[in-house]
Chains A and B, each alone.
Chain A
Amino acid sequence: MIPAAFDYYRPKDLPGVVALLQEHGDDARVMAGGHSLIPMMKLRMADVPHLIDMQDVDGMNGIYVGDTGVRIGAMTTQAELIDSAELADAAPILREAALQIADPQVRYMGTVGGNVANGDPGNDMPGLMQCFDATFTLFGPDGERTVPAREFYEAAYMTAREDDEVLTAVSFPTPAGGYAYEKQKRKIGDYATAAAAVQIVKDGGSCASASIAMTNLSDTPVFSEAAGAALVGTSVDGDAIRAAVAAMLNDIDPVDDNRGPVAFKNHVAGVILTRAIERAWSRA
C-alpha cells in the first residue's frame, strides 16, 4: 500500500504551519500522530499533496491542571494522557477512555488534537469533549479563537475548523462527581459500536446534575441534554435510567454498517448507557 506522492514539511512553529496552510490551501494537511491520516493516505482515501508534520512545533504539548480547569495541548498523545497522575486525579474519565482507544502502539502516536480535529464519528475523544462542555482553541491567520466542542462538529469529517487553522488545545472545567466511559467494541483495538461518557453529581441521595454524550451513533458525537435532564432530581433508580435511555435514543441516529443494523446499535447504545450511568452513580 503506497500512498500518493507528497511534499513534506516539518515547520518549527505555529505561524510556520499556518503560512504553509495558506500557501497550499486545500492541497495541504497537517499531521499530528498520523494514525488516522496515514491509513487514509495509504488507502488513497485522503489526497494530501502537501503534508505538514507538526512533530517539531512548539507550544502544543503539555497538560495543565489548574484550580478550576484543565488544558491539554493538541500534540499530547493518548499514552501521555494515560501516564499523567495529575490528570487521573482531576479528570479520571479521560484515562478510562484513553485506555479503551486502539492499542499501545497507536496510543504512543495518536494525539488528543488529531483525535478531536479528525471529525471521524468513531473517535472517542469528541464524545468526551461534549460531556465536558470543552472548548477548542484554534490558531489561524488572524490569531487565536475558541469554539465550544458542542458547536464544533457539523457532519462526518466536517468541523468548524477552517482549512488554514490549527487546533492547538482543548480546555474544560474540572469535571465533578462520578464518571464512567463505557465502550462496546467488536475486539480490543476497535472503534466503538457504541460508547457513552457520563459525569454525574450527587447531592444527598439524588442527582444534582448529569452530562451524557454518545460516540459512533450518529455522523457527529451526540451530547444528549435530555438524557442528562432525565436523571436530575431522581435517585437514579431503574425508572430514571430507562427515561434517560429513552431520551438518548431520541437524540442518536445510527446507521447500518459492518458493526450491525440500526436495531442492534440502538440496543447496544441502551445497554452501554445503562452501564455507564450505574457505574458513574456508584462513584458519585
Chain B
Amino acid sequence: MSKKMHITLTVNGKEEEFLAEPRELLIYTLRERLNITGPHIGCETSHCGACTVTINGKSVKSCTMFVAQADGADVTTIEGIGGPDELHPLQEAFKEHHGLQCGYCTPGMITRATKLLEENPNPTEEEIRFGMAGNLCRCTGYQNIVKSIQAAAATMNAAKEAAE
C-alpha cells in the first residue's frame, strides 16, 4: 500500500475531502466512497462509457482516471444533471422516446450527451452517432438514443429562444 493522499473534489457542486490511495480509480471513489452510484462500471477497460462523468468540462471515463489525477477537479455525474423532481430535458427525452431499455448505459449516455449538446447544440444524426461513439448500449440499437438526443436538442433550443 502506498501513502494515502489528501484529496479535495467538487462533486455535483459539493466539496468532498478525504484520504485515499492515489491508485484508487475515480469510478470507485464516486460509487463506493461517496455513494454516488449513477456512473456505472460496464467494462472497466475504457471501452463502454458507462462510467462517463464530466471533469473540468470534459467527458471522461472515470474508470480510466486515478483519484489523484482528479484532485482539485470539478466533477459532474448524472446526479448533478437532473433528478426525479426535475428531469433534465435529456432525461425527459430518453424517457419519452425510449432511449433506454435496461438503463445500464443511460447515466453515461446522458452525461456524455450534455457535453455533446453544449459543444454542438444542433447536431445532425451523423454528428450524434460520432459524438456518442464512446458510449456503448447493448439494448436499444442506438436508434432511439439518437432520437432522444435530437428531441432534447430541439427542446433545449426552443427554451433558449424563448428566454431571449
Please, which residues of chain B bring their CB within 8 A of the CB of A55?
69
**Known contacts A4-B23, A35-B46, A53 near B68 by CB under 8 Å:** yes
The number of inter-chain residue pairs (CB within 8 angstroms) is 81
The answer, yes or no, to whether B59 is at the interface (CB within 8 Å) is: yes
When chains A and B are docked, how far (Å) is the Cα of A4 from the Cα of B116? 34
Is B134 close to A, CB under 8 A? Answer: yes
The CA-CA distance from A106 to B60 in the complex, in Å, is 7
Residues of B within 8 A of A106 (CB): 46, 61, 134
Q: Residues of B contacting A109 with CB < 8 Å?
A: 58, 60, 64-65
Contact with B along A16-59 (1 / 0, CB 8 A): 00000000000000010011001100100000000101010000
Count of A interface residues, CB-CB < 8 Å = 28
In the bound complex, do residue A189 and residue B3 qualify as a contact, i.e. CB atoms below 8 Å apart? no
Roughly how many angstroms separate A105 CA and B49 CA in the complex, as a whole number? 8
Chain A 150-172 interface mask (CB, 8 Å, partner B; 1/0): 00000000000000000000000
Which chain A residue has the least Cβ–Cβ distance from B134? Answer: A103
Shortest C-beta distance, A35 to chain B (Å), equals 6
- A40 CB, min distance to chain B CBs, angstroms: 11
Task: Pull 19 A–B residue pairs with CB atoms less than 8 Å apart, ordered by A.
Answer: A1-B25, A5-B21, A5-B23, A7-B3, A10-B68, A10-B71, A34-B64, A34-B66, A39-B46, A42-B45, A51-B66, A51-B68, A103-B133, A104-B59, A104-B112, A104-B133, A105-B49, A105-B59, A109-B60
Q: Classify the secondary structure of B's interface with A.
A: loop
Q: Are A7 and B131 in contact (CB under 8 A)?
A: no
What residue in chain B is nearest A79 (Cβ atoms)? B58
In the bound complex, do residue A104 and residue B134 qualify as a contact, i.e. CB atoms below 8 Å apart?
yes
Whether the Cβ atoms of B59 and A51 lie closer than 8 Å is no
B61's contact among A7, A51, A105, by CB below 8 Å, is which?
A105
A100-111: contact bitstring with B at CB < 8 Å (1 yes, 0 no)? 001111101100
Which residue of the partner chain A has the closest CB to B44? Answer: A1
Measured between beta carbons, the chain A residues less than 8 angstroms from B46 are: 35, 38-39, 106
B66 CB to nearest chain A CB (Å) = 7
Chain A residues near B68 (CB-CB < 8 A): 8, 10, 51, 53
Q: A51 vs B67: C-alpha distance in the bound complex, in angstroms?
A: 13
